[in-house]
């Protein structure tokens, strides 16, 4: 009988609101440029297909409601940006899903922030280098508890076109103030597209893109973000 060479690391997990259950995180996939105005602010053509990148599962930082979580300002950047995003948490998966099947795989939703070393990302874009160090660094995915989908009044249609306000403030000042209805690809379409590239499974988190208004976070600023019907989070960088 074989054994591990050392104890395996703990499984990253996100609390489920209103229960003592934890959602075990398997993979984190993120979609780029899923709101037209953000695609434009990043210099892209809004008609480009969305594309995906990933973060390691242990990038999640749990930000319980009403608590201010403090994170270290990340190394190797002087231009850390916020991107508030609706996160879909999957309890099943598969490959080559239809948008309807993709939506049916959703267990619940959370508010996430796709923290980005924008200075590194801009350099990588210019050189055609991979984005991993700009996107998938330690503690780069602050997330609220997951709210089960039956409790999320997102007014979705059959493929998950959601409605509701998505916002982020810094020290009380509005920086991002978007609407989920402005997502180019619905939740189900995004999951379907991801399932053509990876076999999705229970435990996967899908960050569905950010509206316009991304910008820097400075040390000591209070970052608060929320999605109508899903929840809120709060954190600070030191």
Task: Encode 107-165 in three state secondary structure.
Answer: EEEEEEECCEEHHHHHHHHHHCCCCHHHHCCCCCEEECCEEEHHHCCCCCCCCCCCCCE
Maximum distance among all Cα pairs of the chain, rounded to whole angstroms: 58
By beta-carbon proximity to Mn ion, the closer residue of 17 and 83 is 83
| Piece of 3-11, 18-26, 108-116, 147-155 that binds Mn ion (CB under 5 A) | 108-116
If you search the block for the tokens 């959601």, which residue do you land on? Answer: 162
114 binds Mn ion (CB under 5 A): yes
| Shortest distance (Å) from residue 34 CB to Mn ion | 8
Q: CA–CA separation, 218 vs 47, rounded Å?
A: 32
Residues 64-83 that bind Mn ion (CB under 5 A): 83
176 binds Mn ion (CB under 5 A): no
Q: Which residue is nearest to Mn ion (CB)?
A: 114
| Piece of 7-15, 113-121, 163-171, 197-205 that binds Mn ion (CB under 5 A) | 113-121
| Shortest distance (Å) from residue 45 CB to Mn ion | 17
| Shortest distance (Å) from residue 85 CB to Mn ion | 6
Contact partners, residue 174, CB within 8 Å, separation at least 6: 167, 168, 213
| Shortest distance (Å) from residue 76 CB to Mn ion | 19
By beta-carbon proximity to Mn ion, the closer residue of 81 and 147 is 81
Q: Using CB atoms within 10 A of its CB, is residue 228 exposed (0-12), middle (13-18) or buried (19+)? A: middle
| Piece of 3-11, 53-61, 72-80, 114-122 that binds Mn ion (CB under 5 A) | 114-122
| Shortest distance (Å) from residue 124 CB to Mn ion | 15
Residue of 169, 190, 193, 210 that binds Mn ion (CB under 5 A): 210
Contact partners, residue 109, CB within 8 Å, separation at least 6: 86, 87, 88, 89, 146, 147, 149, 152, 154, 227, 230
Binding site for Mn ion (CB under 5 A): 83, 114, 210
């Amino acid at each position: 009988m074989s054994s591990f060479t050392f104890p395996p690391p703990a499984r990253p997990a996100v609390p489920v609101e209103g229960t003592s259950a934890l959602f075990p995180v398997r993979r984190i996939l993120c979609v780029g440029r899923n709101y037209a105005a953000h695609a434009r602010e990043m210099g892209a053509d809004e008609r480009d297909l969305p594309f995906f990148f990933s973060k390691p599962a242990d990038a999640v930082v749990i930000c319980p409601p009403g608590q201010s979580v403090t994170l270290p300002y990340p190394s190797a950047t002087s231009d850390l940006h916020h991107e508030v995003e609706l996160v879909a948490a999957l309890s099943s998966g598969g490959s080559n899903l239809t948008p309807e099947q993709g939506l049916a795989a959703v267990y619940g939703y959370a508010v996430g922030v796709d923290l980005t070393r924008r200075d590194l990302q801009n350099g990588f874009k210019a050189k055609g280098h991979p984005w991993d160090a700009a996107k998938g660094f330690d503690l780069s995915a602050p997330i609220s508890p997951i709210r089960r989908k039956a409790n999320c009044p997102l007014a979705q249609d059959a493929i998950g076109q959601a409605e509701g306000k998505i916002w982020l403030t810094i020290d009380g000042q509005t920086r991002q103030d978007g609407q989920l209805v402005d997502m180019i690809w619905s939740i189900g379409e995004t999951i379907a597209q991801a399932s053509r590239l990876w076999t999705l499974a229970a435990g996967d988190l899908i960050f569905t893109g950010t509206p316009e208004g991304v910008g820097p976070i400075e040390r000591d600023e209070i970052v608060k973000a929320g999605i109508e019907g899903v929840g809120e989070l709060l954190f600070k960088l030191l």
